[in-house]
Chain A
Amino acid sequence: MEIDKIKEELSSVSTKEINYSELAEILKRKKAEAVKLSDEPLAKEIWILEQVCKIQQRYLEAFNKIKQRDFYNAWCLLEKAEIGLLFLKKHFSINENPYQLKFINDVIRKYQSIYPYRLFFSTELIEKEKECSICGKVYKLRDSCGHITGEIYNGELCLWKVTKSELVGVAVVENPVHKYAVAFLKSGEGEGVEDNYDYSSLEYLMKLINQPFDTWDIDFVVKYVSHNLFKTYSPDETCPCNQTDKTYSECCLKEKGVKSLFHEFVVEKPSKEIILPNSIAIKLSK
């Protein structure tokens, strides 16, 4: 298969199924040939296509996992696709391209914003030794190998591999380096963890959309819920809006109701019309 044919194939991701392992094989072979001929630009072009494959594949897999309600693994795949995009963007504009990358880029963010995760673990690490992924040389200050991280050499991405490090701490943060480090509750004595997160918004969305490239959008709306529903809360308790450390009387009790966050979905081709409690379905004016 020629490069142009592969590009065509990757462009049709939203309409047909792509055999990624076959493509990966071909690209690997072609890259080896390009490197042999010292054809740097071609090797780089192939790296870009490999990256496109990975991003599409991870996104599609993530979508299926969300459909199957395997939410945490889907979350991790979305992050992998996000990281892939981050590396790719340095070398390839995703704005006007046929591979649906702009769509994937935007939709990942939208999915992430309706996930219930809020707290993450983040490690604090002293990096004592690292080596270049291209030449294997250990980094030495004032005597660098000259390879630049994030650049492509012989069709490979240059990265640092940390070879010696010391863990000095773990922090719980809202804005982590690695999104996969979600804080879960430990269940009982065993190894296992419990997933007590509320995925109802995602579940609701999944009832509305069928295909990974269906168009949808989300808005966040703050609505005021009647104080009558929060009668069990004393004015001195932490406010039931969960958005502050203030007490009920200092926060929402002053308002016309308790502030609640609603997800508002806009879908182009809604598959069914199911309205869950606590959701607002917006009809589209066509």
Chain B
Amino acid sequence: MSLTSKETTENFETWLNKPFVSAELKQSLADASILILPTEGFRNHEGPLFPVHTSELYEFLKSKMPEDTIIDICVDSDNFKELALHSDYKRIGNFIVKEMALPLLIGLILLYAQQKYFKDDQSSSTQVVSTTNGASTTVNNSPNTTVVNTNVTVVEKEKPVEEEKPPVKKYHNPPKIKFSYTVVDTTGACKEFEFEGTAKDLETVVEGLNKLNGDGDR
């Protein structure tokens, strides 16, 4: 897993002034706490693109957000296009988010990814992601699935002595997800984070964020 961060000068303003955001849209995005951001300039394609399934993610996030947290997509409706790439990674997307809404966003991304990509994962847990404004959302994984094949437990076999960890096919690796987010704190300072890892890894991040939140309250 990796979670890297770097300083950035990009803020909400930067994105709202992009050519693919009309004056009308700019106004309605002004109050947003979270924006889903496009990437620009893929190969020869000019203009903004979003990773495949962004519309699904957007509808999902919108339906789970508390009323006072506005999420939107940083593009005019007519300009919305999705890019489907090969899937070594499941690309969730890029976001810019106000610090206050960050735990909520990460918690919901975890829930989304678990439902969509990690159904088969052995990990199962329930987590409560709390936000600074007191609202909370429950991240609940599907019922535990056991991967152990009970059909063959009766069989005993001798393992050869010379043995190493068996390699697996790449297409059987647990799916990894990838996303980035720029956090804007109350002073206007911005920091960009990039996450790459499995569901378990993301759970760790969520736990960390919760801890940070808890410390902040004290």
Contact = CB atoms under 8 A, between A and B. Distances in A.
Interface stretch (B128-136, B156-164, B187-195): B156-164
Contacts of A127: 52, 81-84
A177 B114 CA distance: 18
A112 B171 CA distance: 9
A174 B171 contact: yes
A219 interface: yes
A148 interface: yes
Contact of A282 (B119, B149, B158): B158
Interface in A129-146: 139-144
Interface stretch (B7-15, B72-80, B99-107): B72-80
Dominant SS at the B interface? loop
B84 A113 contact: no
B172 interface: yes
A113 B172 contact: yes
Interface residues of B, number: 48
B169 interface: yes
The 8 A-B pairs with the shortest beta carbon distances in the complex, nearest first, are: A122-B86, A220-B166, A174-B170, A141-B77, A222-B164, A141-B80, A125-B84, A127-B82
Nearest to A169: B43
Given A124-B85, A171-B86, A285 B156 contact: yes
Contacts, number: 133
A44 B151 CA distance: 30
A221 interface: yes
B43 A215 contact: no
Nearest to B60: A148
A63 B208 CA distance: 47
B55 interface: yes
Contacts of B49: 126
A83 to B, nearest CB: 13
Contacts of A171: 85-86
Contacts of B45: 126, 166, 168
Nearest to A86: B119
Interface of A: 86, 89-90, 93, 95, 103, 106, 109, 112-113, 118, 120, 122-128, 139-144, 148-149, 166, 168-169, 171, 173-177, 179, 215-217, 219-224, 243, 259, 261, 264, 266, 268, 280, 282, 284-285
A32 B115 CA distance: 30
Contact of A123 (B84, B163, B171): B84
Contacts of B77: 140-143
A261 to B, nearest CB: 7
Contacts of B42: 168
Contact of B157 (A144, A179, A223, A284): A284
Given A124-B84, A177-B86, A223-B160, 17 more contacts: A89-B119, A123-B84, A126-B49, A126-B81, A127-B52, A127-B83, A127-B84, A139-B55, A148-B59, A174-B88, A175-B171, A215-B152, A221-B163, A222-B166, A224-B162, A268-B155, A285-B157
Contacts of A215: 151-152
B204 interface: no
B5 interface: no
Contact of B155 (A86, A176, A177, A266): A266
